Amino acid sequence: MEVSVKIKGVEHKVQAELIGTELWVHHAGRTFNVDTQSGRKSRKKAAGGKSNQILAPMPGKITKLLLNPETVVQAGQAVLVMEAMKMEYTLKSDIEGVIESIHCEVGDQVTLGKVLVKLKAKADT
C-alpha cells in the first residue's frame, strides 16, 4: 500500500507491505526489506564463509552427492550439487578437512538454509 510519512517536515510517499515478518519498502527507486523481528536488513543469509557446514543457499533439489562421510576435502572442493529453477549449482567446501556427516539424500527437496553437510576442519582432526 502507499504510505505517506513525514520526516523532519518533509513528506515521503512510499510503497510498503508486511509479508510475514518482513517489511518491504519501495522508496526513491529502490526496494529494500527489513526483518521486523531483528530490525536488521533481511538477507536470508545461508551459506556463510569459512563455515564447517554447508548450508542450502536456496530452496531446491539435491541432484548429486560427490563425496562420502570420512572423505578428506580441500578448501574449494565440490561436495554436492543441487538444482533450483532448472539451473545446477555446485556447493563447495569452504575449508580443508574431513566430511563428518551428510544430512541430505539425492532427490531431497531442501529449504533455504538447511544444513546439508557437516565438516571437521583439518586443524581439529
Partner 1 sequence: MSQFKKIAIANRGEVAVRIIKACEEMGIETVLLHSEADIGSRAYRMATKTICIGPAPTAESYLNIEANINGALAMGAEAIHPGFGFLSENADFAEAVEKSGLKFIGPSAEAIRALGDKVHCKALAKQAGLPLVPGYEGENQDVAHLVKEAERIGYPVIVKAAAGGGGRGMKLIKSSAEAVELIESAQREAQSAFGSPKVFLEKYLDRAKHIEFQVFGDSTGHVIHFFDRECSVQRRHQKIIEEATSPSLTDELRRKMGEAACAIAKLGKYKNAGTVEFLLQDGEFYLLEVNTRLQVEHPVTEEVMGVDLVKMQILTAQGDFVHDPKQIRAPRGHSIECRIYAENPYMGGVPSTGLLGKVSWPEGPGRRYEYGFEKGDTITPFYDPMIAKVIVWDENRPRAIQKMIRVLRDSVVFGVHTNIPYLIEILSHAEFVNGKMTTRFIETYFADALKAPEMGELEKEISAQVLKALRQNESSDVLVSSPWMTYWRGV
What x-and-dash track marks residues 46-75 binding partner 1 by CB under 8 A? -----------xxxxx-xx-----------
Nearer to partner 1, 6 or 68 (CB): 6
- The Cα 123–Cα 101 span in angstroms is 17
Nearer to partner 1, 70 or 88 (CB): 88
Nearer to partner 1, 67 or 121 (CB): 67
- The Cα 77–Cα 92 span in angstroms is 5
Q: Where are the beta strands (DSSP E) in the chain?
A: 2-7, 10-19, 22-27, 30-35, 53-55, 60-65, 72-73, 78-84, 87-92, 97-102, 109-110, 115-121
Q: Where does this chain bind partner 1 (CB under 8 A)?
A: 1-7, 12, 14-20, 23-27, 29-34, 36, 38-41, 43-45, 57-61, 63-64, 78, 81, 83-90, 109, 112
